[in-house]
Amino acid sequence: MAGCVSRVELSVSCRSLLDRDLGSRSDPLCVLQQDAGGGQWAELDRTERIKNCQNPEFCKKLVVDYYFEKVQKLKFGVYDIDNKSFDLNDDDYLGGIECTLGQVVSSSVFTRPLELRQGKPAGKGTITISAEEIKDTRVVYLEIEARNLDKKDFLGKSDPFLEFYKQSDVGTWQLVYRSEVVIKNNLNPCWRKFSVPLQTFCGGDFNKPIKVQCADHDSDGSHDLIGTCETSLTQMQKASDSSPVEFECIHPEKKQKKKSYKNSGIIRVKSCKIETEYSFLDYVMGGCQINFTVGVDFTGSNGDPKSPDSLHYISPDGINEYLIAIWSVGSVVQDYDTDKLFPAFGFGAQVPPSWQVSHEFALNFNPSNPYCQGIQGIVDAYRQILPQIRLYGPTNFSPIINHVARFAAHSAQQGAASQYFILLIITDGEITDLDQTRQAIVNASQLPMSIIIVGVGEADFKAMEFLDGDNGVLKSPTGEPAARDIVQFVPFRQFRNAPRETLSQMVLAEVPKQLVSYYKWKGWPPVKLPEIKMT
């Protein structure tokens, strides 16, 4: 396993962005992608969207693992977002840059002109990126409310939101948090509990000055200042349920003009707690085993394995798309499993001796011990079983998802971050039991497991893309939403001419986030706790 040197947090701001909206300014968002090889780019992170702004200072930091020994090509793209879709293809491109992470981390401030394409500048637009190593995994959780804020709107009360700034070493103020939800028409708002990494919030210095700014939100971007106050994490930590810490919210101009001016309201810190947030590597190094299971589609739509047109046809050099998918994903995952014993199943075929259709038969024909020794063991079992079964149908995913879910549920009962399950399903895409599969995925979303679907062949994979919750939360047929997004789908055809590692990078990109989100949701720390990394 390659050792990640450190995690790096990138702050992004832009100046003089192109204006793509009629009647208002653009609503920009910045997306960070990393070169995954073979002309493919994998999204790593994205900032929030800022409404009506040509000079955005993005609050959300982009986090990337920094490997000294790799040339990590990055692409920063700025888009004007005019809808709620996650997909960027229907949004206006405001410009971007390509660079390496090494260039960014070796510059204290990295500024470049934005380009619409190579050699074509995006007007006068520029992007500025600064990097900071994350040395601390602690997180600040805050609950804040306000009382008696000034009324700023002519026809109604104020629509207040908060911004937090930390003071840099040279005395300038850097935005570290902006409240997501603007509370409409309320002079006594109570904001939702929120969290900010300690390193972002104050660089790990509990006495570093923090400026809290409260403003009245205007949809055209011309927000009105209500007032500010200065504090520090040390002061805010004194807050408790029975005794909040209070600060006067002061508007500097009003204070200067009016002798009788007291304040523009009171900011109250109800709770300020510091907790440790664990990473994927914390869990893996802390003893979490990743269990890998393979499900192979043996339905009739794949074609007769003896025919060169079949997706199961093994070419003279001994491969097909099913085998490449097993190798590329399995070779990465096997490093995280100590016993290297992987259960492998087929579905959708008639199997001997009864020739009944089965939707979860062991590739080694041993139902009581379906484990294969290493990835080579899965490949050998696949090759041996092909001539012994009849491809049939229908294409049912739910039995094999429920099979792995039973093991994941048993592990979850232990109440520890000791085992996580990855199910790789390789299919030609003609899914039959969509409703049962939706229900199985929603159930599995509450368990320590992730599902990777690789689509082989030229089929229409709309059903698979629907199961991958990137365009919204997947729901069961009864309307129950998935607790978290656990499905990652990729069509193999996008990677036919790319290096083998490209497929594994794309399909496994989401797994670390999915694993961490599950254990965070459960509140389970790593089995073996990491040494606390202090600044």
Position 283 scores a pLDDT of 86
From the DSSP assignment, how many helices (H) and strands (E) are in the chain? 12, 26
**What average pLDDT does this structure show over 225-230?**
95
CA-to-CA dists, residue 87 to 79, 361, 363, 470, angstroms: 11, 37, 38, 8
- Which tokens belong to 274? 């510091």
Q: What percent of the chain clears pLDDT 70, i.e. is strictly above it? A: 95
Q: How confident is the model at residue 217 (pLDDT cuts 50, 70, 90)?
A: confident
Task: Say if CB 529 and CB 286 are below 8 A apart.
Answer: yes
Q: How many CB atoms lie within 10 A of CB 352?
A: 10
Domains of the chain in start order, with CATH, are: 6-134 (2.60.40.150), 138-276 (2.60.40.150), 291-522 (3.40.50.410)
User: Which of the residue ranges 168-182, 287-301, 405-419 would you say has the lowest mean pLDDT?
Assistant: 168-182
Specify the pLDDT at position 398. Answer: 97
Q: Which of 146-160, 227-241, 321-335 has the lowest mean pLDDT?
A: 146-160
User: Given pLDDT bands bounded at 50, 70 and 90, which one contains residue 3?
Assistant: very low
- With a cut of 80, say whether residue 69 has pLDDT above it: no
How many degrees, rounded to 5, is the angle at CA 361 between CA 359 and CA 362? 150
pLDDT value of position 342: 96
Residue 471 banded pLDDT, cuts 50, 70, 90? low
Q: For the chain, what is the mean pLDDT?
A: 89
CA separation for the pair 234, 184 (Å, rounded):
31
**147 touches 262 (CB < 8 A):** no
Q: Determine the average pLDDT of the residues in 63-78.
A: 84
Residue 283 CB coordination number (10 Å): 25
For residue 535, pLDDT beyond 50: no
Asked if residues 468 and 86 have their Cβ atoms less than 8 Å apart, the reply is no
Q: Which residues fall within 8 angstroms of residue 423, CB to CB, at 6 or more apart?
A: 293, 294, 295, 400, 401, 404, 449, 450, 451, 452
* pLDDT at site 534: 41
If DSSP codes are grouped into helix, strand and coil, which group holds residue 225?
A: strand
Q: Where are the beta strands (DSSP E) in 52-117?
A: 62-66, 73-80, 92-100, 110-117
H, E, C per residue of 451-485 = EEEEECCCCCCHHHHHHCHHHCCCECCCCCECCCC
The predicted model gives 386-399 an average pLDDT of: 95
Tens of pLDDT, residues 397-453: 999 999 999 999 999 999 999 999 999 999 997 789 999 999 999 999 999 999 999
Q: Nearest-5° angle of CA 57, CA 61, CA 62?
A: 120
